[in-house]
Amino acid sequence: MKAILPVLLLAVLFYNCSRSPYAATNKDYKRQAKQLANTLKRTPPKDSLSQIVSTWVGTTNFNMRKPNFVIIHHTAQNSCDQTLKTFTTPRTSVSAHYVICKDGSVHHMLNDYLRAWHGGIGKWGNNTDINSSSIGIEIDNNGVDTFATAQINTLLQLLANLKKAYAIPAPNFIGHADIAPTRKNDPNVTFPWKKLADEGFGLWWSDTTGIAVPQNFNHLQALRIIGYDVKDSSAVIQTFNRKFLQQQGSGILTDEGRKLLYTLYRKYE
């Protein structure tokens, strides 16, 4: 018996060490997903206008709703482990579909068809509920550092898969700051938006050589047509400059900025 005890102790230690630190939250994920599945299976849903609906007739023509936007974030935290902990702690009420670490590894945290809590209050065009139509991708970055090459390479692969899987239009790959310019600045000023646009994820401005911006060009209207909420014009211009000129902190649109905006706006006409 004495000889067996050390073996049992080693087995317990091995199990505890090899067990995923997220085993408990993975279990809770499955529980919540099962609850949602049970809700979908009800025919009819118990709370669906029962006082005015006379009968339930189940249609045979339906499928899952699919995401139509991809929103890119930086985590503003110090490590992937810190972010994973944040996204698996109920009281934080924040999450994303994917997290990309500095070494290029990627964590898939939520089924793409489910609604993550990553965008918060925001607007793009007429869409005021971005979370319901988007996939959120968080890149491990403290908000200041440049992004690791391995991260960007992984991101490009992931975006290619998402674009193919859900037929997401090129203009619909945007940043958190784009949908919430008064609150957010991510991904930070070093993010390689042009590299993404060259691969078909987002739009970029064209060569401005010889460009003459019309006298009646309305830059705020152009920003609105692109998708921005222009209620706070200074915040929007600051976001535009950060993204397309990689200039931090400027809320003024220069003549060169007007040219860039004009070439970009023409792609949305």
Q: What is the CB neighbour count within 10 angstroms for residue 136?
A: 26
Dump the DSSP string for 14-68.
Answer: HHHHHS-TTHHHHHHHHHHHHHHHHHHH-SS-TTSSTTT-------S--------
Report d(CA 140, CA 138) in Å as an integer: 6
HSE-up of residue 133 (Cα within 13 Å, Cβ side)? 18
- Encoding tokens for residue 58? 């189940």
**184 and 237 Cβ atoms separated by less than 8 Å:** no
Which residues are known catalytic residues? Answer: 138
Give, in order, the Cα–Cα distances in Å from 30 to each of 111, 225, 237: 11, 41, 43
Strand order across the 134-139 sheet:
106-108, 98-100, 134-139, 69-74, 173-175
